Structure 1
Amino acid sequence: MIITDKYTLEELKNGYSINNNNAYQCICCGAVFEDGEVFRFGERFFNAERAIKLHMAAEHPQRLTELLDCGSRYLQLTQNQKELLACIGAGLTDNQIAEKLGVTPSTVRHQRFMFRERAKSARMYLAAWEIAVSGAEKSKAKPEEEFLPIHEEAKMIDDRYNITEKENQQILDGAFESLSPLKLKQFSPKEKKKIVILRRIAEQFEKNRHYSEKEVNQILEAIYDDYVTIRRYLIEYGYMDRTKDCKDYWLR
Structure 2
Amino acid sequence: MDYGTLTIEEIRNGYRYDEAEKAHVCNYCGRMFPRGQVFPIGDRYYTPEYAAREHIASEHDSSLKKLIEGGAKYNTFTDTQKELLALFGEGLSDNEIANKLGIKASTVRHQKFTFREKAKQAKYYLAVYEEVFGDGGKARKADDIVDIPNTATMMDDRYVITEKERERILKSEFESMRPLRLRHYPLKAKKQVVVLSEVAKLFELGKKYTEAETREMLAAVYEDYSMLRRYLVDYGFMGRTKDGTEYWLK
Task: Report the TM-score, using the length of structure 1 for normalisation.
Answer: 0.72
Deviation for aligned residue 1:105: 4.4
From 20, 30, 33, give the equivalent of 1:31.
33
Deviation for aligned residue 1:6: 3.6
In the other structure, the counterpart of 2:192 is 194
What pairs with 1:123-162 in structure 2 (closer than 5 Å)?
123-133=123-133, 137=136, 142-162=140-160
Deviation for aligned residue 1:219: 3.6
Deviation for aligned residue 1:33: 5.6
Distance 1:45 1:108, change over 3 A: same
Distance 1:25 1:208, change over 3 A: closer
What pairs with 1:39-188 in structure 2 (closer than 5 Å)?
52=49, 56=53, 60=57, 62-101=62-101, 103=103, 105=105, 107-133=107-133, 137=136, 142-176=140-174, 178-179=176-177, 180=179, 182-188=181-187
User: Alignment partner of 2:143: what SS?
Assistant: coil
Write out per-residue CA displacement over residues 26-65 of structure 1, whole angstroms, 9 at most, x where no aligned residue.
655543566xx9999999999x7xx946974796383422
User: Alignment partner of 2:182: what SS?
Assistant: strand
User: Alignment partner of 1:92: what SS?
Assistant: coil
Unaligned ranges ≥5, structure 2 = none
Deviates more, 1:23-32 or 1:76-85: 23-32
Distance 1:99 1:25, change over 3 A: same
User: Alignment partner of 1:31: what SS?
Assistant: strand
Distance 1:94 1:45, change over 3 A: same
Structure of higher CA gyration radius: 1
In the alignment, is residue 238 of structure 1 matched against residue 236 of structure 2? yes
Distance 1:83 1:244, change over 3 A: farther
Write out per-residue CA displacement over residues 145-184 of structure 1, whole angstroms, 9 at most, x where no aligned residue.
3433322322344432222333223323433455545134
User: Alignment partner of 1:147: what SS?
Assistant: coil
Q: Percent identity?
A: 40
- Cα distance in 2 for residues equivalent to 1:40 and 1:227: 41
- Cα distance in 2 for residues equivalent to 1:19 and 1:211: 23
From 198, 202, 205, give the equivalent of 2:203.
205
1:176 and 1:186 in contact (8 A); partners too: no
In the other structure, the counterpart of 1:5 is 4
Deviation for aligned residue 1:123: 1.5
2:26 and 2:52 in contact (8 A); partners too: no
Unaligned ranges ≥5, structure 1 = none
Equivalent residue pairs, number: 242
Give the root-mean-square deviation of aligned CA atoms. Answer: 3.9
1:183 and 1:222 in contact (8 A); partners too: no
- Cα distance in 2 for residues equivalent to 1:223 and 1:232: 14
2:98 and 2:108 in contact (8 A); partners too: yes
1:160 and 1:191 in contact (8 A); partners too: yes
Counterpart of 2:119, as a letter, is A
Counterpart of 1:31, as a letter, is F
2:144 and 2:162 in contact (8 A); partners too: yes
User: Alignment partner of 1:148: what SS?
Assistant: coil
- Cα distance in 2 for residues equivalent to 1:43 and 1:213: 38
Distance 1:63 1:96, change over 3 A: same
1:16 and 1:24 in contact (8 A); partners too: no
Deviation for aligned residue 1:19: 6.1
Counterpart of 2:146, as a letter, is L
Deviation for aligned residue 1:185: 2.2
